[in-house]
Structures are given as C-alpha cells and as structure tokens.
Amino acid sequence: MSQALTLARPYARAGFSLARDAGKLAAWSDALGFAARVAVDPQVQTLLGNPKLTHADAVTLLSPDGADENFGRFLALLADNRRLALLPEIAGLYDELRFEAERVVKARVTSATALPAGELDTIKAALKKRFGREVELETAVDESLIGGAVIDAGDVVIDGSLKGKLGRLQSALAN
C-alpha cells in the first residue's frame, strides 16, 4: 500500500496542478473518482490488463462524459506509464490536496443509528469552530457502537460512542 501511495503521489500532484491552473478542481475530483471506481471493477481490471487494449481505448473507458482534454491526456500518461491501477490512490491523494487548498476538512460521523439533520448541523458547526475550516460530513451507521458516535476527521478521532466508553472503563478497571 505504501509503495502504491509513493508511486501515486507525483501523479496526484501533477493532476492537482493541472486542475488548479484550469480552475477545475471539483470537476477533476469527480472525473478522478469516476475513473478510480471504474478501474477497480474486476472486469475492467482484466480488460485493462489485456495487451490488445490500446491506450486510447483505455482512456475512453475511464473518462467520464464531459471530461476536459487535459484529463484525457492525464489518463493517457498514466496508461503510457502503466499506472492506471493507481487511480484509486491518485484520486484519494488528489482529494486531500484539493481539500487542503480549499480549506475543507472531511469528517466521517459513524453513529449507532441514523442522526437527524439538526444533530449533524450541530456537529458540523462544532467541527468548523474547532478546525477553523469548512467541514464536509460523511455519515455511516454502525449498530455495534450501541449509542453515541465516532467522529473521524483526518488526524483527529473523537470517540463518543458507548462502546468506546465501555472499552475505556474496562481498560481502567483492568489496570
């Protein structure tokens, strides 16, 4: 995994630079996300590994409708260097660069049950105040948490779940 990230990093930076210069950060993010989802499909992976598939066909397969010309050239470069398999890592690293440039923190809120919109707004406001940046929330449900929520915002993890509290209590009692 770390080797894939190391190989993907310069491509993500190059793609970010192209998108920033063209003023199309969001469009490139969407296009890279599409290409990455297509590239991880097992049937597509088999097709991409076929030596009879031309680079132009691979670019056509991985480009979403409406992608700009520079994005097509970017995919062609990846195809020429046999790096199409790195698209998921490239897309992830690109999004990190984009969120940093746009001063956005991406946070994942995992709760025992689906949270109402009002609670999500409260969490978003608190995170915005804590980080001093805009916050993009993603939600998930994990019933094993029993109650409460776990917020994962990059390097910061806030575990307010009942499962986490019980685990900390058990650990404290064991020591």
Place 64 in a pLDDT band, splitting at 50, 70 and 90.
Answer: very high
Give the pLDDT band of residue 1 (cuts 50, 70, 90).
low
Mean pLDDT of 65-86: 92
- Per residue in 99-146, pLDDT tens? 899 999 999 999 999 999 999 999 999 999 999 999 999 999 999 998
Residues 74-80, mean pLDDT to the nearest whole number: 94
SS3 letters for the chain?
Answer: CHHHHHHHHHHHHHHHHHHHHHCCHHHHHHHHHHHHHHHCCHHHHHHHCCCCCCHHHHHHHHCCCCCCHHHHHHHHHHHHCCCHHHHHHHHHHHHHHHHHHCCEEEEEEEECCCCCHHHHHHHHHHHHHHHCCEEEEEEEECHHHCCCEEEEECCEEEECCHHHHHHHHHHHHHC
In the chain, the domains with their CATH numbers are 2-100 (1.10.520.20), 104-174 (no CATH)
pTM of the model: 0.75
User: What pLDDT does 16 receive?
Assistant: 96
